[in-house]
Chain A
């Protein structure tokens, strides 16, 4: 996902430095392009998934979720071994 973000600033900065040194006419155009690249980069970063938290917080969240799923599975298993709902449904239909 990180590859989706264009952060190739250095090459453009190098081109701009070369243009400044050569007193080229396209300096302003390249500066605008660099500015646009920064904005684009910010937009792309904003769209990246899973970066609202730090990695440690994410790990913590995933651990909590795993525990929840395990607990819920255990609860379901407990319910299923406790009662035979098929029999109950059969009786209801019979009634």
Chain B
């Protein structure tokens, strides 16, 4: 069982002193009456007095103990204040650590992304020579820019034609009809126009063959999503490049 607190001890001692004092006064009053009647009663009086002195001494001792405890309490208070200060420092450091963790995790994520890109690039290496060759192929046919001397009626193509636009990604997005008949009709219509491009006789069969292939592809992949955009662009480029290569050849 835990020892009673000093406060409880002190209050109980004060209560004891008060009770003994009352008893003492009653004893004195009764002994005074007994004296008047000739009876003795001084024994209780002495016992109570001794008890009172004893309790008074205990009270003083308890007050001394309270004084010592007050000093200890001061130390406890200062230790609590120090502990609180340390807690604040620890919280501050933890916050800084969390910030550092966030910065590091972001850096790690970005580094991982870069590593993935590097791995992808290493896996699908494209030699520079091939790139240059490809650039030559697509520029030789004036598919990317009109020749400086181009004029209306020039069979070299300075811009994509209607058929090519329909075959492209934008044409598919707007769901324009692309089939063999339409292509034929378009080609017939284009023949009527003096400004439109007419494929040279040596590449005409190739263009029509490519156009048919394109229409077959477009039927297969109707409602294409964005993921296939790269493929379509590639197909278009291949188309132009193949025709241009044949032109250049």
Contact = CB atoms under 8 A, between A and B. Distances in A.
Q: Do A and B come from one complex?
A: yes
Interface of A: 1-3, 5, 7, 9-10, 13, 16-17, 20-21, 31, 34, 38, 41-42, 45-46, 48-59, 61-62, 65-66, 68-69, 72-73, 75-76, 79-80, 83, 85, 88, 91-92
Contacts of A49: 70, 73
A61 B231 CA distance: 76
B56 to A, nearest CB: 6
A88 B3 contact: no
Given A34-B21, A51-B66, A56 B83 contact: no
B72 A20 contact: no
Contacts of A16: 25
A75 to B, nearest CB: 6
Most buried by B among A3, A7, A42, A88: A7
Give the interface size bracket for B toward A: 35 or more
Given A38-B18, A72-B87, A79-B97, A62 B76 contact: yes
The 7 closest A-B pairs by CB, nearest first: A50-B73, A2-B63, A2-B67, A72-B86, A1-B70, A51-B6, A65-B79
B83 A69 contact: yes
Interface in B42-100: 52-53, 56, 59-60, 63-70, 72-76, 79-80, 82-83, 86-87, 89-90, 93, 96-97, 99-100
B103 A88 contact: yes
Contacts of A92: 99, 103
Interface residues of B, dominant DSSP = helix
Contacts of B18: 38
Contacts of A20: 25, 28-29, 32
Contacts of B87: 72
A34 B2 CA distance: 33
Given A7-B59, A66-B79, A54 B6 contact: yes
A78 B24 CA distance: 67
B75 A53 contact: no
A57 B67 CA distance: 16
B7 A52 contact: yes
A59 B3 CA distance: 13
Given A42-B11, A45-B11, A65-B79, A50 B72 contact: yes
A76 B28 contact: no
Contacts of B64: 2
A31 B75 CA distance: 41
Given A20-B25, A51-B6, 20 more contacts: A2-B65, A2-B67, A5-B66, A13-B21, A16-B25, A42-B11, A49-B70, A53-B69, A54-B4, A55-B6, A55-B69, A57-B5, A58-B76, A62-B79, A69-B86, A79-B97, A85-B93, A85-B100, A88-B96, A88-B103
A6 to B, nearest CB: 10
